[in-house]
Structure 1
Amino acid sequence: MPRTPRIEPDGEVVARLAVTALALPEAYEEDAWTGVRWRIRAKTFAHVMVAQAGYESSFRDITGIADPTTVLTFRAGGDELLALVHAGMPFYKPPWSPTIVGMVLDGDTDWAEVAELVTESYRFCAPQRLVQQLDD
């Protein structure tokens, strides 16, 4: 059975995310199995993709939205994780990791909030030395 051709996220969305992600100490960008991800060492702290049939199907299973949708996944913990998981759309909780949260990126996206969430995700993944560098 042939795979569904993947749809890549809009270049403008990737560029907006890259501004925040690449400003973080030692962060780098790479193509992922679908979409683009930002990493610190070997840990992904942000990943943007288009959820569609065959790619990030948990989004469709959880939200019921079948149309291709641009989503960002990132890491969170503690109270922030609980708040985001229970906030409802644009957030959702993929089942494949206890620390991953997904967020729909669309015309209503608050990009200042996205920058904060990406930065906090980096803090969650980065070694303490780099987090300290960020705080200085």
Structure 2
Amino acid sequence: MPAAHPPVPAAILTRLNAICLGLPEAYEETAWAGVRWMVAKKNFAHAVRIESGWPPAYAEAAATAGPATVVTFRLPVERLATPRFKRAPFFRPVWFANIAGLIVGEDSDWDEIADLIVASYRVLAPKRLALLVDSAGL
């Protein structure tokens, strides 16, 4: 394990904060590795920097020793069963049936990332908050 956990690049954090913190009652917190965004104590997005194979669970799930930045999120299981989530830049960690991740790169589609994070929020947020997002057209 490296002496210090590698930080998620500031430019990626800025973009993720713009998406995540615009959702009702969402907040950011430092995770054991990286940064996560929560609603009602549930993690709807998590960004982690992988370097030199650390953290190993993420390196294994994303099939990379890095350097790479990954974001994980939750979606309905039936949506994750589609072929889209079985190929790069996506990966499927084994931690939960409804979790997926993607490797963020220079050519990442930030509109798609925003859609996935908002969908993840809807999966985990209390119904009253999820309805606010639905009514706002997010």
TM-score (norm 1): 0.89
3-state SS in 1 of match to 2:108? coil
Gaps of 5+ in 1: none
Q: How does 1:60-75 map to 2 (within 5 A)?
A: 60-75=59-74
How big is each residue's C-alpha offset from its partner over 1:23-81, in whole Å with a ceiling of 9 and x where there is no partner?
111000111111111000110000001123231x2443345422221000000113321
1:71–1:63: structure 2 CA closer, same or farther, 3 Å change rule? closer
**Whole-angstrom distance in 2 between the partners of 1:63 and 1:128:** 31
3-state SS in 2 of match to 1:118? helix
**Whole-angstrom distance in 2 between the partners of 1:132 and 1:89:** 32
- 1:126: which partner in 2? 125
- 2:36: which partner in 1? 37
1:62–1:134: structure 2 CA closer, same or farther, 3 Å change rule? closer
**Whole-angstrom distance in 2 between the partners of 1:18 and 1:63:** 22
1:61–1:78: structure 2 CA closer, same or farther, 3 Å change rule? closer
TM-score (norm 2): 0.88
State the one-letter code of the partner of 1:8. Answer: P
State the one-letter code of the partner of 2:123. Answer: F
3-state SS in 2 of match to 1:12? helix
Runs of 4+ in structure 1 deviating by more than 4 angstroms, as ranges, are: none
**Whole-angstrom distance in 1 between the partners of 2:69 and 2:31:** 15
Tell me, yes or no, if the aligned pair for 2:45 and 2:72 is still in contact at 8 Å: yes
Count, aligned residues: 132
